[in-house]
Amino acid sequence: MPLPKLNDPKATPAPSKPERKPWKKKSPVEVVLEQADKLKAEIAEMEERESKPKRKQLVKFEEARKLFEGM
């Protein structure tokens, strides 16, 4: 078994960096609700002619929201 070299950069620990927030797993319901909120914000900023596809998608997310809230 080889001994680690003293000058090996891989063997030295990385300098301390600010800790990242722990990853929080989202349920499918939370993901759909979050996407619907993002689409609402995008639509509010866009012109009417550009938002037609987004509005159709938003209708689908709103239907999904109703299903999830009915659970």
Span 8-28, pLDDT tens digits: 555 555 567 789 888 889 899
pLDDT averaged over every residue in the chain: 80
Q: How many other CB atoms are found less than 10 A from the CB of residue 30?
A: 12
Could you tell me the pTM of the whole model? Answer: 0.44
Residues near 20 by Cβ (< 8 Å), separated by ≥ 6?
none
Tokens of 20: 């990242």
pLDDT score at 2: 63
- The rounded distance, in Å, linking the Cα atoms of 3 and 67 is 61
Positions in the chain whose pLDDT score sits under 70:
1-15, 47-49, 51
